[in-house]
Homo-oligomer: A and B are copies of this chain.
Amino acid sequence: MDKYRAVIDMGSNSVRLVIYYEAAEGASYEVDNIKNTIRLNTFLNERNEIVEQGIAEVIRVLTQYRQLCEARAVSSVTGVATATVRKARNKEGFLRRIREVTGFSFRVLSGEEEAYYGYLAVVNSMCVTEGFTIDIGGASSELVRVSDRRLIESHSFPFGAVTLTRQFFQGEIPTMEELVALEKYITAQFTSYTWLRGKELPIVGMGGTVRNLAKIHQKMMRYPFASLHHYEMKKYQVDAVFHHLKDLSPMQMQGVEGLSKERADIVIAGIVIIKALLSYIGSERFIVSNKGLRDGVYMESRLKAKSGALVKDVIEEGIRALMIHYKVNVLHAQHVDYLCCTLFEQLATEGLHRYGTEERLLLSIAARLHDIGRTINLGEWQQHTFYLMVHVLLPGLTHKQRLLAALIASYKGSKRMQQLAASYESMITEGEQQMVEQLGALLLIGRALDRTESQQVSEVMLMRTSDAIMMHCRGNIDGRSLEAKTLEEHKKKFKKQFGFPLQIEWMKP
């Protein structure tokens, strides 16, 4: 049964509701995502109690979320609360009031739990085996050391974008002294944690500060790929955004493309945390995760009934889910994958290309997803496949991998490929274009070999002769089959890409 599940994340800066659609099998995806920047942290009084006005605000917002959940017939809502509630002396009464009025129950996460859920979201949606994660919140920041995909160290630091702004900045534009003092303070906090030292590993960031940083940078660069998740920035690029912002007045901040109005006043302090961490760790790579705490909470609730909270193979699981969601004929797709990858390896043996496991992975992804565009329209389905592969989240892949796999999957010929690639020119090298052409042609051959989608061709063997490539196809079909007819249409492209004519021999099993 299809259903909807929701997570509410009561943070120190904002309260956010995410509603996920969840198919019985296959993909789950967000259908709604809404936040209210309440700044709960600012409703703590000097005795660390959430004051009445803050409680009223939260209840008001949650009442609206309740309406949304009911409208979508959400079957389960998981509420989690973080740093501010953790700190609040009146948290029990506060949460009881909320439960009584809105019906929502909240679990107060410890710093360690908060770190864990962020980590979980990252390792289940990216291929990160070694590195760090940081989740920058309003009043706390969670750091995790990931090794072999496991969480081996973690700590929740009691500062975030809201609290640091209030603590360190007096005026509307931070002074140089304030900025220096802030960075010094943050760095000092790191020193007790030896596991943060001297590792040149990538840092994966989460949270609103991180997303805004990436959006601003994408706008600055006119980045053509419409995706935040897995966006990668170098250290000097983080610095560039920081320098772009640090002297702006609040008015000027409002005009910064990519920056959310509600975050304009606290984004600088958030970015200083990232700068300090990159420097302290000595890392050059900062990778943005669009999945965070709430997704980790969701994944756990979804996966725990199964084999544990960790997805075994992020890319494979993502492909499987998409194949089901887009009604792909899975046996056909897998057989095309098998045929293509066999040809790929035999061509390598014959010295006709020098590609390795990376390109083989792209071919395999393309082979299995090439049909997804058919749900949009059978006319021009290749273009629709391209559109979907570029815009649907394919977890575990970098933007470049998604783009290249999409171009291979939708390959019809050089001209069409160049049209599709045109908007992404800055992301692809000439060598990569050539690779797409070659693997695209190979996929056309593989698809032709299973045109009846019924796995008639059980085996292919390539052999290079002096002036041609012989392809022996074993199966219950012959030169008059639909497979053979379709192959004919693509032989020219093969020759163009690999330099030799393709000759086909049909062999009985």
Query: Using a CB–CB distance below 8 Å, which chain A residues touch chain B?
Result: 2, 21, 29-34, 36, 60, 64, 67-68, 70-72, 226-228, 290, 327, 329, 331-332, 374-380, 383-384, 387-388, 391-393, 452-456, 480-482, 485
Within the assembled complex, what's the spacing in Å between the Cα atoms of A72 and B452?
A: 10
Within the assembled complex, what's the spacing in Å between the Cα atoms of A311 and B376?
A: 22
Closest residue of B by beta carbon distance from A64: B482
With A226-B383, A377-B391: A454-B32 Cβ-Cβ less than 8 Å:
no
Contact A452 B68, beta carbon cutoff 8 Å:
yes
Contact A226 B380, beta carbon cutoff 8 Å:
yes
Q: In the complex, what's the smallest C-beta–C-beta distance from A453 to chain B, in angstroms?
A: 4
Q: In the complex, what's the smallest C-beta–C-beta distance from A259 to chain B, in angstroms?
A: 16
Contact B378 A30, beta carbon cutoff 8 Å:
yes
Contact A379 B454, beta carbon cutoff 8 Å:
no
Query: Besides A2-B327, A64-B482, A71-B453, 18 other CB < 8 A contacts?
Result: A29-B374, A30-B374, A31-B327, A31-B374, A32-B378, A32-B453, A34-B482, A36-B485, A68-B482, A71-B332, A71-B452, A71-B455, A72-B329, A226-B379, A376-B388, A376-B392, A377-B392, A384-B391
Contact A378 B31, beta carbon cutoff 8 Å:
yes
Contact A378 B226, beta carbon cutoff 8 Å:
no
Pull 28 A–B residue pairs with CB atoms less than 8 Å apart, ordered by A: A2-B327, A21-B327, A29-B374, A29-B375, A29-B377, A30-B378, A32-B378, A32-B453, A34-B482, A36-B482, A64-B452, A64-B481, A67-B453, A67-B456, A70-B454, A71-B332, A71-B453, A71-B454, A72-B329, A226-B380, A227-B379, A228-B379, A290-B379, A376-B388, A377-B392, A377-B393, A384-B391, A387-B387
Within the assembled complex, what's the spacing in Å between the Cα atoms of A331 and B68?
A: 12
Task: Name the B residues within 8 Å of A380 (CB-CB).
Answer: 226, 391
Task: Name the B residues within 8 Å of A29 (CB-CB).
Answer: 374-375, 377-378
Within the assembled complex, what's the spacing in Å between the Cα atoms of A68 and B455?
A: 10
Q: In the complex, what's the smallest C-beta–C-beta distance from A24 to chain B, in angstroms?
A: 12
Nearest 3 interchain pairs by C-beta = A71-B453, A67-B452, A71-B454
Task: Name the B residues within 8 Å of A393 (CB-CB).
Answer: 377
Contact B376 A391, beta carbon cutoff 8 Å:
yes
Within the assembled complex, what's the spacing in Å between the Cα atoms of A226 and B416?
A: 14
Q: In the complex, what's the smallest C-beta–C-beta distance from A492 to chain B, in angstroms?
A: 13
Within the assembled complex, what's the spacing in Å between the Cα atoms of A332 and B70?
A: 12
Within the assembled complex, what's the spacing in Å between the Cα atoms of A377 and B31?
A: 8
Task: Name the B residues within 8 Å of A332 (CB-CB).
Answer: 71
A68 partner, pick from B30, B70, B454, beta carbons under 8 A? B454
Within the assembled complex, what's the spacing in Å between the Cα atoms of A391 and B376?
A: 7
With A64-B482, A387-B387: A72-B453 Cβ-Cβ less than 8 Å:
yes
Closest residue of B by beta carbon distance from A30: B378
Task: Name the B residues within 8 Å of A391 (CB-CB).
Answer: 376-377, 380, 384
Task: Name the B residues within 8 Å of A485 (CB-CB).
Answer: 36
Within the assembled complex, what's the spacing in Å between the Cα atoms of A376 and B375?
A: 12
Task: Name the B residues within 8 Å of A375 (CB-CB).
Answer: 29
Task: Name the B residues within 8 Å of A31 (CB-CB).
Answer: 327, 374, 378
Task: Name the B residues within 8 Å of A452 (CB-CB).
Answer: 64, 67-68, 71
Q: In the complex, what's the smallest C-beta–C-beta distance from A491 to chain B, in angstroms?
A: 15
Within the assembled complex, what's the spacing in Å between the Cα atoms of A5 and B135?
A: 50
Task: Name the B residues within 8 Å of A290 (CB-CB).
Answer: 379
Within the assembled complex, what's the spacing in Å between the Cα atoms of A484 and B378?
A: 42
Q: In the complex, what's the smallest C-beta–C-beta distance from A468 to chain B, in angstroms?
A: 25
Within the assembled complex, what's the spacing in Å between the Cα atoms of A329 and B19?
A: 13
Contact A331 B226, beta carbon cutoff 8 Å:
no
Contact A378 B33, beta carbon cutoff 8 Å:
yes
Within the assembled complex, what's the spacing in Å between the Cα atoms of A68 and B227?
A: 37
Within the assembled complex, what's the spacing in Å between the Cα atoms of A380 and B452?
A: 37
